[in-house]
Amino acid sequence: MTDESSALLGRSVHRQIRQMVLAGELAPGRPLSVPALATQLGVSRSPVREAVQQLIYEGLAVSAPHAGAKVAAVDDAQIREVLAVRAVLDGLAAAAAATRLTEADLDKLASIIAAQEANLDDATDAARDAQLDLEFHTFLRDASGNSCLSEELARLEAKAHLYRGDLWCSARNRRVALREHRRIVEALESGHAESARAAAEAHVHGLLTRLDRA
């Protein structure tokens, strides 16, 4: 295999395992067995081993001495820490994105929101709901044009979704989060950086308030 194709395979294996973790298919605390994952994904062990190392670096997995890696768990105290940092960085990303987004970008954000709205009356599907929320925030942080900020936020967003409460998926929380997402998009459409920052911060503060109520 050439260096380039092995790098491509490595990225794809990492993406697949990360997706399984974020969808809860590999739940917090579950061991990340390299041989088992390699068999499941039909690849050799070495890209899986690298992907697991990458997940540890991202904070989505932890390694225990002599016990291999397992999916990280995020408790009540940790989710609050993650969200406190996210509030500031999400605000920064939205402010930067406000002056950069094209019409096509705004259409893309509107289509993610439409997909979230279409699911409102359906039963909770944690994997689908997490995926749509991540899609919204991934698009926004990448649109900030700041790769350092985007990288930090990628870690924090993923980590936040390891929290297993009903924060992301109860019907009520999904409805309120959708309203907050819509306010972010409206602020972005206006092109005002400060309004976008405020709307993005308000969304994360809303998540913190919903945690307190749970």
Q: Which residues bind Zn ion (CB under 5 A)?
A: 133
Q: How far is the CB of 137 from Zn ion (least distance, A)?
A: 6
Indicate the residue among 37 and 188 with the shorter CB distance to Zn ion.
188
Amino acid letter for position 177: A
Which residue in this structure is represented by tokens 């406190």?
Answer: 84
Least distance from Zn ion to the Cβ atom of residue 184, Å: 8
CB-wise, 50 or 129, nearer to Zn ion?
A: 129
Question: Considering beta carbons, is residue 8 or 214 the nearer one to Zn ion?
Answer: 214
Judged by beta carbon, residue 50 or residue 133, the one nearer Zn ion is 133
- Which residue is closest to Zn ion by CB? 133
Neighbours of 129 (CB within 10 A): 20
Instruction: Kindly provide the residue ranges of all beta strands, DSSP E only, lying in the chain, ordered along the sequence.
Output: 31-32, 61-64, 68-71
Q: How many CB atoms lie within 10 A of CB 212?
A: 7
Distance CA 119, CA 114 (A): 9
Nearest to 100 by CA among 17, 3, 188, 201: 188
Closest approach, Cβ 182 to Zn ion, in A, equals: 11
CA distance 80 to 52: 25
* Closer residue to Zn ion, CB minimum distance, 140 or 193: 140
- Written as six digits, the tokens of 159 are 């980590």
Looking at beta carbons only, is 32 or 184 nearer to Zn ion? Answer: 184
Rounded to whole angstroms, the Cα distance separating 26 from 146 reads 31
Least distance from Zn ion to the Cβ atom of residue 136, Å: 6
Q: How far is the CB of 133 from Zn ion (least distance, A)?
A: 5
Shortest spacing between CB 194 and Zn ion, in angstroms: 20
Residue 2's Cβ-side half-sphere holds a number of Cα atoms within 13 Å equal to 3
